Amino acid sequence: MLAHYYPWYSAPPRTTTYRHWDGGGGCGATFCPPDDLQAASYPLLGPYDSRSAAVLAPHMQWAVQAKIDVLVVSWWGQGSYEDATVPAILDAAQAHGVKIAFTIEPGGRSVSRASSDLRYLSERYGGHPAYYRLSRPSKYARSPLPRGVVFVFRARFEEQRGERWAPALDSIRGTAHATLVVLDTWADRLGTDAGVRGELDRTHADGFYQYELGYPGLGPNRFPRSPDYWMLGTVGPGWDDRRLTRGGTTVIDREGGAYYERLWAQVVAARP
């Protein structure tokens, strides 16, 4: 099982700022930590710093307790704040037997930079024991050798700008930095084998997922399967963005855990 992990945060005493907790405007402009946070729920550890060993250790312990095998780290590019947190995350993960993969986020991302970013992640972190590798051949990457795993959140953004993923992904095939790349793409294209193959041939990705599974209007999630591609099912406990984005209105009630249980049942029944 894989789970998204967001190392976006800073907090005293490591720093004087509450990065991401204060909404980016500082106390008084939007939110005012440590009591008033840009978060739907108040964290058990309080407004924490993502680089702190005192934070990373319990996070990894909780991941193990939840039977999570891999944490997929939100990554915002070479030299970003999140990039600087990765070494500490890898070390903490190794200490608890957890593996680490990555999600390349949209900020500053482009297809033209994708091959550079994939090579960077492989070169900089691929030698760490906690770096997740998976043997999963696909149509455009037939080698059975284990590869690092990288997700691309809302990869359709590049398509909307007229960019194409295939050349960037092909550029790392067969190299020392070959990576298993999983794209978050159009939900309505993933319900049939024909739809998935259309995405596969357009992007040359290794697999696909839907970050927004369960959002209103997406409908039931079905899982075509083939040795040519990897499909992942997504579950979540609910959603409430009223404090996360300006004017956010999307709320999916947790229903005391019932919503989460229903999504798990759907994914298990679909056998992705």
Reported as a pLDDT band with limits 50, 70 and 90, residue 6 is very high
For 225-246, write each residue's pLDDT tens digit. Answer: 899 999 988 899 988 888 876 6
For 127-151, write each residue's pLDDT tens digit. Answer: 999 999 999 999 999 999 999 999 9
- The helix, strand and coil proportions of the chain, stated in percent and rounded to the nearest 5, come to 30, 15, 55
For 82-130, write each residue's pLDDT tens digit. Answer: 999 999 999 999 999 999 999 999 876 888 889 999 999 999 999 999 9
Residue 245 pLDDT:
62
Reported as a pLDDT band with limits 50, 70 and 90, residue 266 is confident
Element (H, E) at 125: helix 111-125
Listing DSSP states for 141-202 in one string gives B---S-EEEEEETTTHHHHHTT--SHHHHHTTTTSTT-EEEEEE--GGGSSSHHHHHHHHHH
The yes-or-no verdict on residue 195 having pLDDT over 70 is yes
Q: Which residue has the higher pLDDT, 215 or 28?
A: 28
Which candidate, 139, 157, 110, places its Cα nearest to that of 201?
139
Mean pLDDT of all residues belonging to the chain: 89
pTM assigned to the model: 0.93
At residue 233, what are phi and psi to the nearest 5 degrees? -90, 145
For 153-167, write each residue's pLDDT tens digit. Answer: 999 888 777 788 999
Give the number of residues written for the chain. Answer: 272
Position 181: which residue type? V
The yes-or-no verdict on residue 27 having pLDDT over 90 is no
Which candidate, 157, 181, 154, 153, places its Cα nearest to that of 167?
181
Residue 88 pLDDT:
98
- Cβ(264)–Cβ(270) below 8 Å: no
- 10 Å Cβ neighbour count for 123? 11
Which candidate, 135, 35, 20, 128, places its Cα nearest to that of 82?
20
